[in-house]
Homo-oligomer: A and B are copies of this chain.
Amino acid sequence: MFLDRFLANRRGVELTLEERSLLEGAISEIQSVNSRQTIIEAGENVSVSTFLLEGIISRYIDDKKGLRQLVAIHVPGEFVDLHAYPMRELDHSIGTLTAATIAIVPHSALKDILDPRPELARKLWFSTLIDAALHRAWLFRVGRLDAVGRIAHFLCETNARLEAVKLSNGHRFALGLTQSDIAEICGLTTVHTNRAFRQLREAGLCNMRASLVEICDREALARRGDFDPHYLYLGQSPSTQ
């Protein structure tokens, strides 16, 4: 039941009941973490992976001046660092953005489950590759879009991801992030992010107050952000644009 959301609605790799309960059994611990806490520091050796049950977690790279670049965020129902299983150590740090609940999965338990089950291993492999696809979409966002487009794209992506795990109805969702968080995600300053939000609001595309996001015109928002959900590898959800 902890893993109900894992790979939910992902094209072709939904887990069987047996697979789900096997993975469930590999969980060693459930933890609560406060907002804005570092969970793993870049370069650390890790022997467990983290599955996110509640809240938003970020992955980021620090530059030498202490500024950081977010390279991923995770929503409930996703492994945050399953890639640590083959990699052993990480090239980035991990921290909470909001308060969060996580499940800890030791790699030894994972190995016992996966070694005799190539099909399941391939599904987990797939799930780490979705993260890579998200990285690519983020690259596109930062490299090709202007400030308004980046925010539009990010909101479309987040809406689609949350919808897949039933945390958005397609038009409205709670997102515990501040405008500064979104600025960091989109590679912008807080000030400029705020101005871009105003433009989106005035154009009637979307609205964010107190971390509740309301998407007024989903299609127009997707157009403004040049958003094509293909890279999320979702199944055919009824309202996915």
Contact = CB atoms under 8 A, between A and B. Distances in A.
Nearest to A123: B86
Contacts of A64: 226
Interface stretch (A21-29, A130-138, A207-215): A130-138
Interface in A52-69: 59, 61, 63-64, 67, 69
Interface string A75-102: 0000000010011100110000000000
Interface residues of A, number: 45
Nearest to A117: B118
A144 B69 contact: yes
A130 B59 CA distance: 16
What is the oligomeric copy number?
Answer: 2
Contacts of A59: 136
A144 B63 contact: yes
A61 B118 contact: no
Contact of A142 (B92, B128, B142): B142
Contacts of A67: 144
Contact of A69 (B88, B121, B128, B140): B140
A116 B133 CA distance: 28
A6 to B, nearest CB: 16
A125 B123 CA distance: 11
Most B CB within 10 A of own CB, among A114, A129, A138, A139: A139
B126 A91 contact: no
Contact of A126 (B86, B136, B139, B230): B86
A187 interface: yes
A129 B128 contact: yes
A64 B230 CA distance: 14
A138 B140 contact: no
Contact of A118 (B121, B137, B143): B121
Contact of A87 (B83, B118, B129, B143): B129
Contacts of A231: 91-92
Contacts of A201: none
6 contacts: A61-B139, A69-B139, A71-B136, A72-B136, A83-B132, A129-B132
Given A86-B129, A92-B231, A135-B136, 9 more contacts: A42-B230, A64-B226, A69-B144, A87-B126, A91-B136, A114-B118, A128-B129, A131-B132, A144-B187
